[in-house]
Structure 1
Amino acid sequence: MINPRGLFQTAGLAIVLLMTGAKAQAVGFGEETVSIRLGTFLSDFDTTATLSGPNGGTSVNLEDALGLDDQQATFRGELGWRFAPRHRVVLGYYDFERSSVGMSSSSFTVDTPEGTYVFDANATITTEFDWRLIPISYAYSFYKTDDLELSASVGVHWFDATIGFTGSATVTPPGGVPTPVASAAEAETASGPLPVFGLQAGYAITPKWVVGGHLNYFGLEYDEYSGSLVDARLDTEYWFTDNFSVGLGYTWYNIDFAKEKGPYKVGIDYLYNGLEAFVGFRF
């Protein structure tokens, strides 16, 4: 399987080598064929997870109740291809991997097909929450001038989430009896494509100074999936040359997602927001 993070890093290295080895073709606002952003995203998190079934299940805030880190710096990449003046495809990549060892503020229940887990209050719990997001979209510029571009987009946000708990719990296997376990471990995953629709805007205040942003939305119930998604971003960048820029951005992202399979449900209410510093390339 192709690693998107490695793809972005390889592309960035290739661009640097290209820029140092030969003079890149000059391009202006909205004229690029290929664009790349590579950055560091400092995010604040608020995560509530529910793993429920016929024997119950408790919604638990991973940061407040279990001490999961509520801030993290991570890599963010974006690759764009403008295959016609008003048409482009954009691929993004985020990867958050968080874990903590802390004392649970209250007991909580996880009900899965493998059994029912009641984790004890004031017990030491190891919590893991991994989140990978790969958004891909097609955008059409319905208004485009030398200094302003307005676009509408359609795409998918492919996500992969893993939630895991390890600690002192009372475990009841299917058809069995409750048994205290000193180090019970349970993990569940949820993944899939979420369709999104959005609007984008970019404005060149000067030939070198550009501001922009986007707003994406999803709300759908289909098969075993349901939920909503809001993705908003503002950014500004300064082009030191025709092909190289440095910028700052702010992202606010919220997904309220549930996957139900029979009587069992994996639910995630996940909010992250924060600042990003990035470098940009265009050709």
Structure 2
Amino acid sequence: MLKQAFVGLLAAASFSGHVNADEYKFTIGAFYASSDSTMLVKSAKDTNSYYLLDFEDDLLLTEEQFLPFFEFTYSFNDRHNIYLDWKSLHRNADTPQLGFDIEIPEFGDNDDNFLIDGEAKISTTLNIDILRLGYGYDIWEGDNYTVGASIGLHTMFVETVFEGNIGLCESRSDPNALCDTATFTPRIVDNALTAPLPDVGVYGSYEFYPGWVFNAHAQYFAIKYDNVKGSLVDIRAGVQAIICENWHLSLAYNYYDVDVDIEQSRSILDTEFRTFDYNINYSFTGPMFAVSYSF
């Protein structure tokens, strides 16, 4: 059953150099995201074949847009740091018609099978939220520089919604047989959540001019376990400047990519049948702007 969607975590914030006292830092900003999301569905005409449904190309979800993010950093005991950040990608679109019927096996909160009428109007929602939590330790530090390492967790929350002329399929023993429509439902929802998974990283900062700090970090994680495969890459470099007391302005260039593949199958009479594949690629390469307040 597709009840997992994968997910992400560890935090990376801007480091402002050597910290002697406890410090709390809140950051709010925006980044430019480019997304590519696909789902493997069954063809309603040929039940033995599958079709890769593209959320951006087929369902007309926005591929590129500015999105918000939030970060919190707590620095304590001279060298220790705790990070928390959140990124959100919420999109929806209306498709006049898909042009072909599709069947989605074992979809939704009750793992039902659905047949979507491709000749009717389809409304699609794909909401992705990534929460990251981590810990960093300043290994080397001086009057104007800091270098450290971090470990953490990331989790992804995915909500997928289809609205339109959708048939709820009756239970059947043959997964390759086209489902018989029992009733029609205007809306189906699938909520996916992955368990927190670890990632590791390095970071550094250098104050090259009073009040001006260069920051950089890199984080990585990859896993392949049973029918789930995924990876996280986060690389950022930028400059932070003091606007006034306790306030900072940051400009950075960021490469961020989360890729998740989930293969779903079920066993009937000791035979495994492939029923569902889900892929989400959440990535952006571009500028980030942020304002921070610390105390």
TM exceeds 0.5? yes
Match of 1:29 in 2: 17
Unmatched tracts of structure 1, length 5 or more: 1-27
- 1:269 CA displacement: 2.2
- What count of residue pairs does the alignment treat as equivalent? 255
Match of 1:130 in 2: 127
- 1:177 CA displacement: 4.6
- 1:206 CA displacement: 1.1
Match of 1:70 in 2: 63
Deviates more, 1:117-126 or 1:244-253: 117-126
Seen in structure 2, the aligned counterparts of structure 1 residues 86 and 50 have a Cα distance that, compared at 3 Å, is farther
Q: Is the 8 A contact 2:28 2:292 kept in 1?
A: yes
Q: Is the 8 A contact 1:254 1:269 kept in 2?
A: no
Q: Which has the higher contact order (CA 8 A, sep 6+)?
A: 2
Correspondent of 2:238 among 232, 235, 239: 235
Q: Is the 8 A contact 1:56 1:110 kept in 2?
A: no
Are 2:133 and 1:145 aligned? Answer: no
Are 2:283 and 1:272 aligned? Answer: yes
Q: Percent identity?
A: 23
Three-state SS of the structure 2 residue aligned to 1:240 is strand
Q: TM-score, normalised by structure 2?
A: 0.74
Three-state SS of the structure 1 residue aligned to 2:138 is strand
Q: Is the 8 A contact 1:55 1:111 kept in 2?
A: no
Correspondent of 2:218 among 215, 220, 229: 215
Deviates more, 1:209-218 or 1:261-270: 261-270
Correspondent of 1:79 among 62, 69, 72: 72
Match of 2:92 in 1: 99
CA distance in 1, matches of 2:48, 2:72: 45
Unmatched tracts of structure 2, length 5 or more: 1-15, 173-177, 267-274
Correspondent of 2:32 among 42, 62, 71: 42
CA offsets 1:216-267 (integer angstroms, 9 cap, x no match)? 1111234664322222222322112352111223333222224566636562
Seen in structure 2, the aligned counterparts of structure 1 residues 77 and 129 have a Cα distance that, compared at 3 Å, is same
CA offsets 1:44-86 (integer angstroms, 9 cap, x no match)? 222223468x987543221111001223333311111111222
- Structure 1 segments, 4+ long, off by >6 Å, are none
Q: Is the 8 A contact 1:56 1:109 kept in 2?
A: no
Q: TM-score, normalised by structure 1?
A: 0.77
The structure with the greater share of residues assigned to helix is 1
CA distance in 1, matches of 2:39, 2:142: 45
Q: Which amino acid aligns with 1:98?
A: R
Equivalent positions of 1:102-117 (< 5 A) are 102-105=95-98, 107=100, 108-112=102-106, 114-117=111-114
Alpha-carbon RMSD across the aligned residues, in angstroms, is 2.9
Q: Is the 8 A contact 1:55 1:116 kept in 2?
A: no
